[in-house]
Structure 1
Amino acid sequence: MTTYSLLAPRVPYRPEQLLPYAALTQWSDAYRIWQGQALLNDPFQDFTYAAACGFRVPTGTGVTLMPLRHPHQAAIQAHSLAVASGHPVVAGFGPGAASFQASLLGAPYRSQLGAVREYVTVLRGLLEKGEVDHVGEYFTCRAELAPVPRPPVEIGLGVLRPRMARLAGEIADVAITWLTPAAYVREVVVPALRAGAEAAGRPMPRVVVMVPLALAAPDRDPVELAGVSSTGHTMLPHYADMLRRSGIETSTQDPRGNAGALLSGGAFLYGDKAELAARLQEFADAGADEIVLNVTGVHLKYGERASLTELEALLSAVAR
Structure 2
Amino acid sequence: MRIGLTGGGSTPEKIIEQAKRAEAEGFHSLWYASVVQGDPLVSLALAGRETSTIELGTAVLQTYPCHPLLQAQRAASTVAGMGRPGLTMGLGPSHEANISGLYGLSYDRPGRNTEEYLQILTSLLRGEAVDFEGDEWTTHAPAGTVRAAHPIRVLLAALSPRSLRVAGTYADGAVLWMAPATAIERHVHPRLTAAAEAAGRPTPRIVAGLPVCVHDDEQEARAAVAAQAVVYAGSPAYQRILAIGGADTPADAAITGNEKAVETQLRALLDAGATDIHAHIVPAGHDARASLKRTRDLLRELNR
For residues 104-162 of structure 1, give each alpha carbon's deviation from its aligned partner in whole angstroms, at most 9, with x where no partner exists: 55343332221111111121121103432222221122235546562221111001222
Instruction: Give the Cα–Cα distance (whole angstroms) in 2 for the partners of residues 225 and 134 of structure 1.
Output: 47
Q: Which residue of 2 aligns with 1:227?
A: 226
State whether structure 2 residue 51 is matched by structure 1 residue 55.
Answer: yes
Instruction: Give the Cα–Cα distance (whole angstroms) in 2 for the partners of residues 20 and 220 of structure 1.
Output: 33
Shift of 1:222: 1.3
- Number of positions where the alignment pairs a residue of Structure 1 with one of Structure 2: 301
For residues 47-79 of structure 1, give each alpha carbon's deviation from its aligned partner in whole angstroms, at most 9, with x where no partner exists: 112234x23432111111112311112111221
For residues 30-57 of structure 1, give each alpha carbon's deviation from its aligned partner in whole angstroms, at most 9, with x where no partner exists: 11111122275211001112234x2343
1:283 and 1:41, CA in 2 relative to 1: closer, same or farther beyond 3 A?
same
Listed as ranges, the gaps of 5+ residues in structure 2 are none
SS in 2 for 1:224: helix
State whether structure 2 residue 90 is matched by structure 1 residue 96.
Answer: no
Q: Which residue of 2 aligns with 1:272?
A: 258
SS in 2 for 1:221: helix
1:302 and 1:73, CA in 2 relative to 1: closer, same or farther beyond 3 A?
farther
State whether structure 2 residue 283 is matched by structure 1 residue 298.
Answer: yes
Contact 2:211 2:255 in 1 (8 A): yes
For residues 188-212 of structure 1, give each alpha carbon's deviation from its aligned partner in whole angstroms, at most 9, with x where no partner exists: 1001112212332323321111121
Q: Which residue of 2 aligns with 1:168?
A: 167
State whether structure 2 residue 268 is matched by structure 1 residue 282.
Answer: yes
Contact 2:214 2:291 in 1 (8 A): no
For residues 84-116 of structure 1, give each alpha carbon's deviation from its aligned partner in whole angstroms, at most 9, with x where no partner exists: 220221111111112222135534333222111
Give 2:228's aligned amino acid.
S
1:65 paired residue among 62, 86, 103: 62
Contact 1:160 1:177 in 2 (8 A): yes
Instruction: Give the Cα–Cα distance (whole angstroms) in 2 for the partners of residues 58 and 122 of structure 1.
Output: 24
Give 1:108's aligned amino acid.
S
Shift of 1:164: 1.5
1:149 and 1:201, CA in 2 relative to 1: closer, same or farther beyond 3 A?
closer
Listed as ranges, the gaps of 5+ residues in structure 1 are 250-257
1:149 and 1:241, CA in 2 relative to 1: closer, same or farther beyond 3 A?
closer
Q: Which residue of 1 aligns with 2:140?
A: 142
Instruction: Give the Cα–Cα distance (whole angstroms) in 1 for the partners of residues 256 and 59 of structure 2.
Output: 22
Q: Which residue of 2 aligns with 1:240?
A: 239
Q: Which residue of 2 aligns with 1:75?
A: 72
State whether structure 2 residue 289 is matched by structure 1 residue 319.
Answer: no
Give 1:292's aligned amino acid.
H
Using the aligned pairs only, state the percent identity. Answer: 27
Q: Which residue of 1 aligns with 2:191?
A: 192
Shift of 1:311: 5.5
Q: Which residue of 2 aligns with 1:156?
A: 155
1:143 and 1:302, CA in 2 relative to 1: closer, same or farther beyond 3 A?
farther
Instruction: Give the Cα–Cα distance (whole angstroms) in 1 for the partners of residues 74 and 290 of structure 2.
Output: 32
Q: Which residue of 2 aligns with 1:252?
A: none
Contact 2:2 2:303 in 1 (8 A): no
Shift of 1:217: 4.5
Q: TM-score, normalised by structure 2?
A: 0.88
1:90 and 1:308, CA in 2 relative to 1: closer, same or farther beyond 3 A?
farther
Instruction: Give the Cα–Cα distance (whole angstroms) in 2 for the partners of residues 72 and 92 of structure 1.
Output: 16
The two structures, once aligned, show a CA RMSD in angstroms of 2.6
SS in 2 for 1:160: coil
Give 2:137's aligned amino acid.
F
State whether structure 2 residue 34 is matched by structure 1 residue 34.
Answer: no
Q: Which residue of 2 aligns with 1:254?
A: none
Shift of 1:186: 0.7
Give 1:313's aligned amino acid.
D
Give 2:157's aligned amino acid.
G
Give 2:119's aligned amino acid.
T
Q: 137-146 or 237-246, which moves further after superposition?
A: 137-146
Instruction: Give the Cα–Cα distance (whole angstroms) in 1 for the partners of residues 172 and 66 of structure 2.
Output: 20
Instruction: Give the Cα–Cα distance (whole angstroms) in 1 for the partners of residues 25 and 60 of structure 2.
Output: 24
